[in-house]
Structure 1
Amino acid sequence: MLEKTFTPAEIEARWYAHWEETGAFRPARPDAQPFTIVLPPPNVTGTLHIGHALNQTLQDILIRWNRLKGRDARWIVGTDHAGIATQMVVERTIAGQGLTRASLGREAFLETVWDWKRQSGGAITRQMRRLGASCDWAHERFTMDEDFSKAVTHVFVELHRRGLIYRDKRLVNWDPKFQTAISDLEVETREVQGHFWHLRYPLADGSGALIVATTRPETMLGDTAVAVNPEDERYQALIGKLIAHPLTGRQIPIIGDEWADPELGSGCVKITPAHDFNDWAVYERHKEIGWINVLDATANILADDSIPQAYRGLDRFEARKAIVADLDALGLLERVEDKTIQLPYGDRSGVVIEPWLTDQWYADAPKMAVEARAAVADGRTQFVPKTWEKTYFNWMDNIQPWCVSRQLWWGHRIPAWFTPEGEIIVAHSEAEAQAKAGAGVSLRRDDDVLDTWFSSGLWPFATLGWPKQTDELARYYPGDVLVTAFDIIFFWVARMMMQGLELTQQAPFHTVYCHGLVRDSKGQKMSKSKGNTVDPLELIDRFGADALRFTMAASEAQGRDVKFDEKRVEGYRNFATKLWNAVRFAQSQGIAAGPTETPRATLPVNRWILAETAQAAADAEAALTGYRFDQYAATLYQFAWSRFCDWYLELIKPLLAGGGEAAEETKQVAGWVIDQILILLHPVMPFLTEELWHAQGDRAQDLILAEWPKLTPETNEATAEIAWLIDLVSAIRSARTELNVPPGSKLPLHAPEADTDLQARLERQRPALERLARVDGISFTPPPPGGTAQLVVEGLGYAIPLEGVIDLAAERARLTKTAEQAEKEAAALAGRLNNPGFTERAKPEAVEKAREDHEARTAEATRLRAALARLG
């Protein structure tokens, strides 16, 4: 017999250890059809956050579902070396010992990182186990493993051979603290209070000055032009003339370029190609203006002869103050405007990022993107929801060369060597490079490492042994589905598509399922600064992993972000408890594990529950096939809680108590239905269902390896009768509640419209109606004069006399007043929603809240008016 109280912690630890020890996550199924998912590899430095909980729950549902369907389901798992994040963690650790990366040297530092990885790098995979992730742990991968690293080197060399990787001098996002290029994904744009400095740039011939505005005065040391719009009549005559730079003395040209917006400020824009991405684009159209770099790797002003002595070596922000002061002294500071500006910050360093001109390695993403785009356009890979295809196409159509080098020590070191003459040799090894250079030629290896997105882009096939043509690769590549957040479609999905198609000639997966981001209950983005983040491990401690997983699935509606509310986790913990108690009740009635095949049933209530079970199985199958996780959860919640626990178990109590053949049939049916519920729920609630599966009796195998139901829904007279009974009882209960009928009151039911068949049905179900709806007798005559509760079920009218049971006048007044208040509130909300001033300017979460409130008030008013109409 089950324990009285459901306690998830002990159950979860016990079953997960059992599954992993017995190899249940990867049963031997060599003849089965493969089903492959690759886990988006979390950072080795990471800990499980609520976004991981959503992403991994959805993947685990698909894996467990396909495992139950008999497929060779493999969830490829591993972690990413997370170059900059890991290096930062280890540098912070050794700083506590009075050491620095430089003092250790490269080799010793890398050994320290490996030590850290061996000791502390498995935190997130341990936490994934607590969530219930049924990954193929026996083949866990790491992007810095020896074989994976060889694959990365092979790719770099091969793409360089094909002309798809090259070295170039371009602008990058530069982090002055870590002194490395970083990706757009690692840049966090913040809204800050800043200034617009309006500066006077004198014309070289002394005939006047142009006014330019900038938020970064220090970059003017690198100005190489001032741009005006060629259609701007104010400045057309000045194009080609020269500006006398107010600080450096250089003469720079006035050029015509559409980047200058006549409607913005003065219409004149200073052009600093080496320190602004838009300005670099202007330079690409006007190569004659050249470029000047004025910052070093730490964002200090260069000690260069082209820069006035007073600014050399200054921090960029100190230089800003000095330059503004000098311009003011020269009478060239026109005015200072307070302005809210968008500033790029390093998401890990927390310092302002600089666009900086450096020599880096690039992948020819525009060329590789052609086939990657075509694979989605022609359906080889499809996005779900399909709307994300537009985002993907937009990025692929406007893709820029991909900077793949990083100025770090931890990562895949770029396999390139330099000769004293500056020749670059790309090779698989130093020996191969030396052979290419010739004996006696001194070689220096590139110090840079590869962007982590470069190696993670190989994840779907390098984890399977590629470039070797292994049996695993042939069997499990391409994968079936990738589950990921939409915000890394470009950074990861696109890179896997480009590299997969270029290197294997196959798209790496057939389907990309993009889920939303997890927001708080008000729809706001979660952040530590707002204090609205959620720790999934703390939720698991309180409510259990199954409740959290069910919340994630039930909240995942295609195309929408997840609004996370802890109350839902608590609610689904109650659902787990409900199921636990239902099985305890079944055990107390002698109901055990059901037969393997669908049992035969003659009693209407049993035939009804068999049909309901088949329908629930079909609906769950359809929902998962269409990646409608919310519908899958809703289907099973409704079936298990309402149909089985609330209705079926109540309806069969008299049958169980009566004994005989009816009781035996009912026990067989109930045991079988419980088994089906456990199988259907297992993908989302694996721990609870496995525990209940074994509690019901001896099993030939664990639930994780059971067979997914193959049932055909059907409707018959028996199912129709029980469905009608439930509708009638529900209608009576609702009327009693809405009209404040005392719970203990037993009232007669009148069915004056009943024909002979309905009268017979009512008589058959009289015991159930008396017990479940508090009905005291059934009459087929009209109700006596006076107030009645009017009901309509399947188009026929029923009535319950209320004279002397409630104060009818007071009840009408209460319902009228409450309905009018709800209608008034709904109208006010409708007014706000119809006002463009609100819908266009208010925060999206405020608009969404207003819509939800409007729907709730409208539904309440409708319900109350219906209750009023019942009072005949």
Structure 2
Amino acid sequence: MSEQLPKTYNPHQVEEKWYEFWEKEGYFTPEADEDKTPFTIMMPPPNVTGELHLGHALDSTLQDIIIRWRRMQGYNTLWLPGTDHASIATEVKVVEQIREEGLSKEQIGREKFLDKAWDWTEEYGGKITDQIRKLGASCDWTRERFTLDEGCSKAVREAFVRLYEDGLIYRGDYIVNWCPDCETSLSDLEVEHEEETGKLYYIRYPFADDSGYITVATTRPETMLGDTAVAVDPDDERYQQHTGKTVILPLMERPIPIIKDEFVDSDFGTGMVKVTPAHDPNDFEIGERHDLEKIQVIDYQGFMSAEAGEYVGLSRQECREQVIEDLKEADLLEKVEDHEHAVGHCYRCDEIVEPMISKQWFVEMEPLAEPAIEAVKEGEVNFVPERFERVYMNWMENIEDWCISRQLWWGHRIPVWYCQDCGAENVAREEPENCSECGSENLEQEEDVLDTWFSSGLWPFSTLGWPGETEDLEYFYPTEVLVTGRDIIFFWVARMIFTGIYNMDEPPFSNVYVHGLILASDGRKMSKSLGTGIDPLDVIEDYGADTLRFMLITGSTPGNDRRFREERLEASRNFANKIWNASRFMLMNLEEDTPKSLPEDSEKISPASRWMLHRFNEIVDDINTNMEKFLFGEVSQTLYDFIWGEFCDWYLELIKPHLYDAEDEKEKQTALRTGQYLLGEILKLLHPVMPFITEEIWQKLPGSEGSIMLQDWPKIRGECFDVEACENMQILQEVIRSIRNIRNEMNVDPGRGIKALFSAGDEYQDILENGRDYIAELAGVDEIQIAGEFAERPEKAATAVVREIEIILPLEEMINIDQEIARLEKEKSEVEAEIERARGKLANDDFVEKAPDEIVQEERDKLEEYRQEMEQIKARIDELEG
């Protein structure tokens, strides 16, 4: 007898064992091999500070499914993992640690701060990669990278210098999104806009000539202290007579002009808007067009600056409250209205973002965007689902220059050295000793670091050794597919495409598979603070990694969000147990020397096995097609329906007569060989989705050699196609289902054997004759008669028709008719009582008029259900008394 499986599947005894085995044996680590076709996936690098959440789990599961599938198909697969240094998130953590020591980062200095940041990263960072291992991710950990490692840092400097030398990087004063808490600039994509109920304040600005006033509406009265103009729409006839005049800025007593600008929305507020070039991106543009002064009244910590006059030192909120009071006192506040508007928050700390003018480094985007747009238009890069191509195009075609500098210490320090003698900018790959302009040694490096997305944009090739000409880069680049969430297209996907084309002359990947988000059961985003977050590690602890993986793809469709439901986990665990029990049944019947291959004598293969082999061919084709299209939800459904519904519930039951009632040993061995072959092939199909349980069962199959993950992916075998066997078995299944349904309706004891008569034409008679054993075994039929017509029919019988087969089941063979009639009469009385009760309730005017409509309707629905049930009972009684 072959090695047996325990009665119950315990994932904890399996998962860690097999993962250590796979990794130790080097199965995840490919070498460049010109005789094999490479297939590469780059893991989107999670933040080194992060912990595994369901988004990571889904992302990693999808990538692992693809890579395991391609590996088994014979590709030389590389799935390269790594982590991102996460400039802002990490710096926040380290600054908090320093504060607990009673110090600030400025007090300890940059060098000691970076030492602490590295210490913190080594101690707390990278945990997420260990957590990803628990999912079964078959990525090559020997090639693991970190965006701040030596190789990636070299790539960052090379990319910066190239862009600078090509005139695509410049430095200038520009308005940026500024986080006063993190004290750094943010890209537009790092600002999360939240709808909030605020106020719209209507403020009077007196004319300089004392001829009256105009009224301006604003949501941020504290910024009025930095106003340098009031603007109107050139086409707004209401205010044409005012343009060119001067008003006095309230509280600051500063004269400012009224100007015309097409940006103004005449429907907002009064149609006249205050212009604060230093604290609003649109006002900044207006200021550039009209050469307005830029007065910064808020400092970089979020407090009012000296330019705010008597309000200096107040927080923004304190200043707003004081300004409103002072305007009221001066009778310059006309009115206040509630106003819904979007407020920008820092994506890291949730602080309200302040637009600020700052000297920053920028990448000129138009020359980089053009080839990246063409690559998608020409089909070099495909989005799945296709609708995300429009999202990508919309952003790329309206792209603005990219602010790449961040006022942080943790990250890639910008490779620019300023000469303190002549002021020249020295941009270099290595730290220069002398100024390239004047030769001075008095150089100081730029304090700012680069935006994290600058380094992660290089990820597909920096991780393979670029800018060096490495074997890995030559062999594994470009990659095949990028798997990512729909919320990261702009942050990362677009930047990888244009940096890949710029630096490598070709896009970094052929396909972008965009999956949706997993939401809480109520449809909201998952949140630990709201108690709606789900920890994947808890799920793995309770259910196992395979169950989590299967649940994550069940019901998924490309790009669409879906809700987390506990019952899906239960269903996935039940599926794993079903596979385990089915495999255990097969192994109990197999011998150690049972060959794994199909029997050579195909004539001896039973109709059930021919049907299953045909269906298996179709399933392989379906799964291949859906995998190619990234339809993982379809893959999971196909596997579930086939393995549970066809292989376990039908095939294993159908072959029992060949195992236990075989006419000769050869019939039994043929059934065993075919069953073992099918089980092994099914395990291979399932392996990419559920790697642990399939490996454990595979290792128990007689004759198994090596890991299942290195086996050949199942192929469609032409000799196993048998359309006739498949159609015949489907007919037999319909016959068996019909008999089972009648037994259930008649309340026949499950252990009672019955008699069945089949009236059918010659073609169907042959099918029934060949399926006698199956009908007997699966429908509980002791006696079977098959004929074209029966001269004598039983007086009382239940009947059904399948195709052109009439099924006749004599009632006296199934039940005690008198007892069944008595039971039905009792049931009839009970239902009659319920009908009378419902009728009486609905005839009561007080109930109908006073009860809630839904309660009344519920009672009407019950009455209709009882009536239908009564009709069925009467029909059954008439049938039995017939």
TM-score (norm 2): 0.88
Q: CA deviation at 1:561?
A: 1.2
User: Paired residue for 2:642?
Assistant: 639
Q: What does residue range 349-748 of structure 1 map to in structure 2 within 5 Å? A: 349-420=349-420, 421-431=422-432, 434-440=434-440, 442-590=442-590, 595=595, 597-600=597-600, 601=602, 602=604, 603-659=606-662, 660-712=665-717, 714-734=721-741, 737=744
Amino acid of the residue matched to residue 734 of structure 2? D
Query: Compared with structure 1, are the counterparts of its residues 637 and 481 closer, same or farther at alpha carbon in structure 2 (3 Å cutoff)?
Result: same
SS at match of 2:436: helix
Amino acid of the residue matched to residue 669 of structure 1? T
Q: CA deviation at 1:118?
A: 2.0
Q: CA deviation at 1:89?
A: 1.5
Kept in 2, the 8 Å contact 1:26–1:72? The answer is no
Amino acid of the residue matched to residue 11 of structure 1? V
Gapped regions of structure 2 (runs ≥ 5):
812-816, 839-864
TM-score (norm 1): 0.89
SS at match of 2:306: coil
Amino acid of the residue matched to residue 67 of structure 1? R
Q: Does 1:757 find its partner at 2:758?
A: no
Query: Compared with structure 1, are the counterparts of its residues 787 and 297 closer, same or farther at alpha carbon in structure 2 (3 Å cutoff)?
Result: farther
Amino acid of the residue matched to residue 50 of structure 1? L
Structure 2 Cα separation of the partners of residues 303 and 363 of structure 1 = 32
Q: In the alignment, which of 188, 203, 206 is matched to residue 192 of structure 2?
A: 188
Structure 1 Cα separation of the partners of residues 219 and 523 of structure 2 = 33
Q: CA deviation at 1:610?
A: 1.4
Query: Compared with structure 1, are the counterparts of its residues 328 and 612 closer, same or farther at alpha carbon in structure 2 (3 Å cutoff)?
Result: same
Q: In the alignment, which of 13, 16, 30 is matched to residue 13 of structure 1?
A: 16
Q: CA deviation at 1:397?
A: 0.7
SS at match of 2:482: strand
Bigger Rg over Cα: 2
Instruction: Give the total of aligned pairs.
Output: 824
SS at match of 2:355: strand
Structure 2 Cα separation of the partners of residues 410 and 791 of structure 1 = 76
Kept in 2, the 8 Å contact 1:44–1:121? The answer is yes
Aligned Cα root-mean-square deviation (Å):
3.0
User: Paired residue for 1:66?
Assistant: 70
Structure 2 Cα separation of the partners of residues 504 and 405 of structure 1 = 24
Gapped regions of structure 1 (runs ≥ 5):
822-859
Q: CA deviation at 1:179?
A: 0.7
Amino acid of the residue matched to residue 218 of structure 1? E
User: Paired residue for 2:79?
Assistant: 75
Structure 2 Cα separation of the partners of residues 524 and 733 of structure 1 = 44
User: Paired residue for 1:793?
Assistant: 802
Q: Does 1:768 find its partner at 2:774?
A: yes
Q: CA deviation at 1:100?
A: 2.6
Structure 2 Cα separation of the partners of residues 173 and 743 of structure 1 = 73
User: Paired residue for 2:859?
Assistant: none
Q: CA deviation at 1:211?
A: 1.7
Query: Compared with structure 1, are the counterparts of its residues 734 and 512 closer, same or farther at alpha carbon in structure 2 (3 Å cutoff)?
Result: farther
Q: CA deviation at 1:472?
A: 1.0
Kept in 2, the 8 Å contact 1:593–1:672? The answer is no
Amino acid of the residue matched to residue 793 of structure 1? V
Kept in 2, the 8 Å contact 1:415–1:428? The answer is yes
Higher mean C-alpha deviation, range 100-109 or range 132-141: 100-109
Structure 2 Cα separation of the partners of residues 732 and 227 of structure 1 = 83
Query: Compared with structure 1, are the counterparts of its residues 523 and 734 closer, same or farther at alpha carbon in structure 2 (3 Å cutoff)?
Result: farther
User: Paired residue for 1:263?
Assistant: 267
Structure 2 Cα separation of the partners of residues 354 and 707 of structure 1 = 58
- Deviation string 1:705-744 (CA, Å, 9 cap, x unpaired) is 1110111362333232222222332344346557876656
Amino acid of the residue matched to residue 802 of structure 2? V
Amino acid of the residue matched to residue 755 of structure 1? G
Higher mean C-alpha deviation, range 731-740 or range 614-623: 731-740
Higher mean C-alpha deviation, range 613-622 or range 10-19: 613-622
Structure 1 Cα separation of the partners of residues 49 and 336 of structure 2 = 44
Amino acid of the residue matched to residue 431 of structure 1? P
Structure 2 Cα separation of the partners of residues 290 and 638 of structure 1 = 70
- Deviation string 1:12-44 (CA, Å, 9 cap, x unpaired) is 000000110110112557221000000000111
Amino acid of the residue matched to residue 18 of structure 1? F
SS at match of 1:26: coil
SS at match of 1:374: helix
Structure 2 Cα separation of the partners of residues 867 and 149 of structure 1 = 77
Kept in 2, the 8 Å contact 1:594–1:672? The answer is no
- Deviation string 1:526-558 (CA, Å, 9 cap, x unpaired) is 223432111000000000000101111223212
Higher mean C-alpha deviation, range 770-779 or range 98-107: 770-779
Higher mean C-alpha deviation, range 98-107 or range 568-577: 98-107
- Deviation string 1:82-105 (CA, Å, 9 cap, x unpaired) is 111111112222333333312221
SS at match of 1:526: coil
Structure 1 Cα separation of the partners of residues 57 and 777 of structure 2 = 44
User: Paired residue for 1:84?
Assistant: 88
SS at match of 2:238: coil
SS at match of 2:259: strand
User: Paired residue for 1:117?
Assistant: 121
- Deviation string 1:424-443 (CA, Å, 9 cap, x unpaired) is 221223326x2414333522
Q: CA deviation at 1:699?
A: 2.8
Kept in 1, the 8 Å contact 2:169–2:364? The answer is yes
SS at match of 1:275: coil
Q: Does 1:143 find its partner at 2:147?
A: yes
Higher mean C-alpha deviation, range 292-301 or range 780-789: 780-789
Kept in 1, the 8 Å contact 2:426–2:435? The answer is no
Structure 1 Cα separation of the partners of residues 148 and 470 of structure 2 = 20
- Deviation string 1:587-611 (CA, Å, 9 cap, x unpaired) is 2112668746443443111111211
Q: CA deviation at 1:653?
A: 1.2
Kept in 2, the 8 Å contact 1:414–1:449? The answer is yes
Query: Compared with structure 1, are the counterparts of its residues 353 and 639 closer, same or farther at alpha carbon in structure 2 (3 Å cutoff)?
Result: same
- Deviation string 1:33-62 (CA, Å, 9 cap, x unpaired) is 000000000111111110000000000001
Kept in 1, the 8 Å contact 2:435–2:441? The answer is no
Q: CA deviation at 1:644?
A: 1.1
Kept in 2, the 8 Å contact 1:608–1:722? The answer is yes
Higher mean C-alpha deviation, range 209-218 or range 593-602: 593-602
Q: CA deviation at 1:396?
A: 0.4
Query: Compared with structure 1, are the counterparts of its residues 181 and 650 closer, same or farther at alpha carbon in structure 2 (3 Å cutoff)?
Result: same
User: Paired residue for 1:833?
Assistant: none
SS at match of 1:171: strand
Structure 2 Cα separation of the partners of residues 190 and 18 of structure 1 = 48
Query: Compared with structure 1, are the counterparts of its residues 208 and 463 closer, same or farther at alpha carbon in structure 2 (3 Å cutoff)?
Result: same
Higher mean C-alpha deviation, range 323-332 or range 631-640: 631-640
Structure 1 Cα separation of the partners of residues 448 and 800 of structure 2 = 77
Structure 1 Cα separation of the partners of residues 560 and 741 of structure 2 = 33
Amino acid of the residue matched to residue 188 of structure 2? D
Structure 2 Cα separation of the partners of residues 869 and 72 of structure 1 = 68
Structure 2 Cα separation of the partners of residues 726 and 339 of structure 1 = 66
Q: CA deviation at 1:745?
A: 6.5
Q: CA deviation at 1:233?
A: 1.9
Q: Does 1:94 find its partner at 2:98?
A: yes
Higher mean C-alpha deviation, range 594-603 or range 471-480: 594-603
Q: CA deviation at 1:747?
A: 5.7
